[in-house]
Structure formats: C-alpha cells, structure tokens
Chains A and B, each alone.
Chain A
Amino acid sequence: MQFFGGSSLTSVAPEASPAPAAPPGTGTGANAQVIYVFNRNGVCLLYREWHRPLRTLARNQDQKLMFGLLFSLRSFTAKIDPTSTEHGNLGAPLLPGQGCSFHSFKTNTYKLNYMESPSGIKLILLTHPRTGDQRDALKQIYSLYVEYVVKNPLYAPGSPIKCDLFNKHLDQYVKTLI
C-alpha cells in the first residue's frame, strides 16, 4: 500500500503463489480489467468490465461491497497515519481530503488502484498485479469523466452514467494502459 505522507510501502506477493497468467491481450495493452466509479453517496455511477472471469455476487451487492471496502480502508489508512495529530476513533467521519488515503493495494492476482477527488468521486481500476503506478491514468479517466459526463447537459448529476461517448473514449483510453 502506498500512503500520501511518509514512505511508500509496496506489498510483496508471496513467492509461492506465482502471478497469474497475463490477461488476454496484455502484450498489446488491455491491462485494465474492471472499473468502478462511485460518487460520495455510494451510488455506483459506472461499472465496466473488460476482463473478469469470476463473478460471485449480484451486481449491486458487489458494488456495495466494493464501496464499503473503500470506505473502511480509507478510514483505516487515515487512522494509522503516524504523522497525524488527530485522535478520533476509527470510523469517525472524515472530511474530504482529511487524513491520508491510499493509492492502491495489491494481491498476488490483481491490483486495485484508487483515486478520490475532493468532490467525492471515487475511481477504482483493477489491473494486473504487475502494473505500475496508475495515478496518472486515474486522473486521466477523471478528466474524461469531466469532459464527457459532467459537461453533458443531458446527464443528471448523481445518476448512473449512460453516455456512449464517454464509454467509447474510456475504452479507447484503457486500451493504451500498460
């Protein structure tokens, strides 16, 4: 996990369980597997998958679980920050941008990249565990969201995204991710 303040730690996958085979098309990009976009109210604005072999939950359960995970993890990372001087309880409500957050976590089979904007938009991108830092990529996706969703007058803020133009540009962009 990497933190905003202090040194960055990278979890090391146990040697015994080798990284999975690269997803189809990794050599040519197409590294992104799943993307979630949430707003601050936990509404899943966007869910899109390019490569996800295993599905165990109903879609809305899956999304809710993901949001809960992020929410707790964010609260947790803020609380164990050694440089923080605030001593609220774990799970105490946080203002946007307050305390440190995390950028990604990695298991031996995937990496979850995370970005949160001060306006509460949360972007989650699952990739192959060997992918590098995706913060710039997430920022780029956020710009796409601004350009093709926020600026679309037909889009009602807070509702799921149904903009073909956005999906098209998103697909195009994630293909370029290595």
Chain B
Amino acid sequence: MPPLTPPKSGDALFSSVERVNAELFTLTYGAIVRQLLTDLEEVEEVNKQLDQMGYNIGTRLVDEFLAKSNVSRCVDFKETADTIAKLGFKMFLGVTATVTNWDAEGTTCSFVLEDNPLVDFVELPDTCQGLQYCNVLSGVIRGALEMVSMKTEVTWVRDMLRGDDAYEMRVKLTKQVPEEYPYKDDD
C-alpha cells in the first residue's frame, strides 16, 4: 500500500512554504555572526556558539520539515542523506546539495553546496581565518538528525570563503539510537 500522500518534490516543497527575502536572511545571519565575534572575541568560541544555535534550530525545524514534506521513514542513512540534500536544503534555503564521497560502510558522506545563500556579500577578514562562517548549517543538520535518532558528527572540509571551489560538509553517522521504553518497571 503506498503512503497516504507521497513525499513532495523539492520544488513543490519550496513553493509551498512561506518565504522571506534571501538578502534579509543573509544579512540577519551576518549580523548575528558579527555580534558573536564582538561578544566572544575568540573565533573558536564563535564556531561553537554557531553550532549550538544551529543545533537548537535543527531540533525544532525537523518537525516542520516532517509535517510539510510527508516524509515518513528515515531508517536508512543513505535515504536520509538524499532527503536532506534534495528536500531539506531546497525547502529551507532554496538550493539543492549533492551527496557524494560515500565511504564503504555507508555511514559517512559529504554534502556539497555550489551555491550557499548564507555567504552572499561576505569576505573573511584576515583576523577571522579560523571562523567557520556557516557552522550554523552543520549544527542544524546534527540537531535535526538527532531528533530522528541518528547521532552524527558534522565537519566542514571545503569552504569557498577560504578559497575552495565549493562548500563541503562531511556527515558521519556515529550511532542510531532505538526508541526505548522510558519508564522503569514499577514507577
């Protein structure tokens, strides 16, 4: 029996969600990064904070994604990666990512973004070379996947702001946590 309503395509999803001006979004994000740099002073701390913010976003965003995309199963990590690349990125950022560089076990892969709306108008100054400007994205992925029981580690391996030819995020599935009965026997 096919699912009640099949998952929407990326384009259908993109056109069904409420959108804001991409420049407004980009500049707002830029302002956040600026503020964090001023507040925390250490680039490493800013990376951490962006990742944490992304994580918090991801844990909420996953429900919106699931409600709007009709995706119902996420057992297989390959399927999950495809869904994120084709539907997730499209729905929230308007771009599609490609999934490549699978390792032999099928637990690590890369998302490659040619086009990244977060970094329009951005140049990294010399003083911030260690900054992972888009760290919020990796946090979002980590948070969202954790909500569907997949513990992951996400790292950036290529970054156009540092002169690479694309954005590449490496996602490693460390653990799939099955649902467990949460109560003790006699409480």
Contacts and interface: CB of A to CB of B under 8 A. Distances in A.
A20 interface: no
Contact of B75 (A7, A95, A136): A95
A96 B182 contact: no
B contact patch SS: loop
Contacts of B4: 135-136, 139
A94 B4 CA distance: 22
Contacts of B179: 40, 93-96, 120
A84 to B, nearest CB: 12
Interface string B125-169: 000000000000000000000011100000000000000000000
Interface string A104-140: 0000000000000111110000000000000110010
Interface string B60-76: 10111011100111110
A68 interface: yes
A162 interface: no
Given A95-B149, A95-B179, A96-B179, A151 B73 contact: no
B59 A157 contact: yes
A145 interface: yes
A163 interface: no
For chain A, which range describes its interface: under 10, 10 to 19, 20 to 34, or 35 or more residues? 20 to 34
Counting chain A CB atoms within 10 Å of each CB, the highest count among B4, B64, B66, B67 belongs to B67
A137 to B, nearest CB: 12
Interface string A68-103: 100100000000000000000000011111100000
B24 interface: no
B66 A117 contact: yes
A67 B180 CA distance: 12
For chain B, which range describes its interface: under 10, 10 to 19, 20 to 34, or 35 or more residues? 20 to 34
Given A68-B183, A94-B179, A139-B67, A151 B60 contact: yes
A146 B64 contact: yes
B75 to A, nearest CB: 5
Given A117-B66, A120-B179, A143-B67, A98 B1 contact: no
Interface string A34-62: 00000011100000000000000000000
B63 A145 contact: yes
A150 interface: yes
B148 A96 contact: yes
Counting chain B CB atoms within 10 Å of each CB, the highest count among A135, A145, A150 belongs to A150
16 contacts: A4-B1, A5-B1, A7-B1, A42-B182, A64-B183, A93-B179, A94-B179, A97-B74, A98-B75, A118-B72, A120-B179, A139-B67, A142-B66, A146-B63, A146-B67, A157-B60
Interface of A: 4-8, 40-42, 64, 67-68, 71, 93-98, 117-121, 135-136, 139, 142-143, 145-146, 150-151, 157
Given A95-B149, A95-B179, A118-B72, 20 more contacts: A4-B1, A6-B1, A7-B1, A42-B181, A68-B183, A71-B181, A93-B180, A95-B75, A117-B63, A117-B66, A118-B66, A118-B74, A118-B148, A121-B63, A136-B4, A139-B4, A142-B63, A145-B63, A146-B67, A150-B64
